[in-house]
Amino acid sequence: MSKCGRKKYIKTNLRQMETLDCQQDGGVPGSVAESESAHLQAQTDPNSAPTLAQVVAIAEADDSAESEGVTDSQKRREILSRRPSYRKILNELSSDVAGVPKIEEKSEEEGVPPHVAAMAVPTSIYQTSTGQYIAIAQGGAIQISTPGSDGVQGLQALTMTNSGAPPPGATIVQYAAQSADGTQQFFVPGSQVVVQDEETELAPSHMAAATGDMPTYQIRAPATALPQGVVMAASPGSLHSPQQLAEEATRKRELRLMKNREAAKECRRRKKEYVKCLESRVAVLEVQNKKLIEELETLKDICSPKTDV
């Protein structure tokens, strides 16, 4: 069996087990977090109460199953597929239970390298295929930062001096991984192109370029020899030819994929945090349970002292 086949086999078995659990004790199948936490609870403390999310999910599952007599797995899956986000769950938990930390709303700067965040409050952060960060601030300022370099050293601020308010939809910055001549290019508002320059030639006056070991960037007019494979940012209204439409679609797809990539990362981070919180809660409840059992034993001894016969 191939690795993937094996993995799929394991996953299938896991799902079957989850379904069994669901039938036995009201667990929710198809939910990794639920199965993980349920498994954790079974391992550590079978007496501990289900989480708030589990309670909600169980209640929903029971209601739907009882009222409709759901047997069709597809329908069941549809009913059970959606659950509150980890942030919501944990925040609910935190309001219910003292000591459970809230999942903080991740601020814009949080996921950004310090040498970028320290310079300005960016509105958009992008990471290039070479690991560099591009931050676009409110005023149109573009910051390009190389991770690994410390502090401000790795940052070049390219401040755009947009005259007046930018046109609607013109805040798109496009990044082309590498053009034919091996340079990196970014498209910025105002139909200009930011081009990474391999030689450290002097930049035009409207641009601030870093020097030394850091790559330099130039802002050029796109009309000047637009390299192959580069797609210009354009407002949808100006698209006419099928090629332009296709390019726009590609650009949108890339943007969506990039956003989804980041969202998935963030989601996993929250999930890990959520699981950690559940684990710590289990530990606390275990201790509480142990204390209560000891207390009960003590009280039993006091209330019913042994009599010699």
| Residue 83 within binding range of DNA, rule CB under 7 A | yes
User: Could you say which of 102, 220, 251, 271 contacts DNA (CB under 7 A)?
Assistant: 271
| Residue 85 within binding range of DNA, rule CB under 7 A | yes
Which one, 135 or 219, has the nearer CB to DNA? 135
Smallest separation (angstroms) from DNA to the CB of 295: 35
Which one, 268 or 300, has the nearer CB to DNA? 268
For the chain, the farthest-separated pair of C-alpha atoms sits apart, in whole angstroms, at 107
At 86, the amino acid letter reads: Y
Cα–Cα distance, 184 to 208 (Å, whole number)? 17
Cα–Cα distance, 144 to 217 (Å, whole number)? 9
Smallest separation (angstroms) from DNA to the CB of 164: 24
| Residue 272 within binding range of DNA, rule CB under 7 A | yes
Stretch that binds DNA, among 5-13, 148-156, 226-234, 301-309 (CB under 7 A): 5-13
CB 121 within 8 A of CB 137: yes
| Residue 249 within binding range of DNA, rule CB under 7 A | no
Stretch that binds DNA, among 81-89, 129-137, 169-177, 242-250 (CB under 7 A): 81-89
CB 125 within 8 A of CB 135: yes
User: Could you say which of 17, 26, 30, 227 contacts DNA (CB under 7 A)?
Assistant: 30
Sheet with strand 174-176: strands edge to edge: 174-176, 185-188, 192-197, 216-220
The SS3 of residue 124 is strand
| Residue 291 within binding range of DNA, rule CB under 7 A | no
If residue 142 lies in a helix (H) or strand (E), which one and from where to where?
strand 142-145
User: Could you say which of 75, 268, 276, 290 contacts DNA (CB under 7 A)?
Assistant: 268
Which one, 276 or 300, has the nearer CB to DNA? 276
| Residue 29 within binding range of DNA, rule CB under 7 A | yes
Cα–Cα distance, 50 to 46 (Å, whole number)? 10
Cα separations in angstroms, 146 against 6, 67, 116, 152, 217:
40, 58, 9, 10, 13
Size of the site for DNA (CB under 7 A): 38
Which one, 109 or 197, has the nearer CB to DNA? 109
| Residue 296 within binding range of DNA, rule CB under 7 A | no
Closest CA to 251 of 147, 160, 182, 174: 174
* Residues paired with 175 in a beta bridge: 186
Contacts with DNA, residue ranges (CB under 7 A): 1, 3-4, 6-8, 10-11, 15, 29-33, 78, 81-88, 256-261, 263-268, 270-272
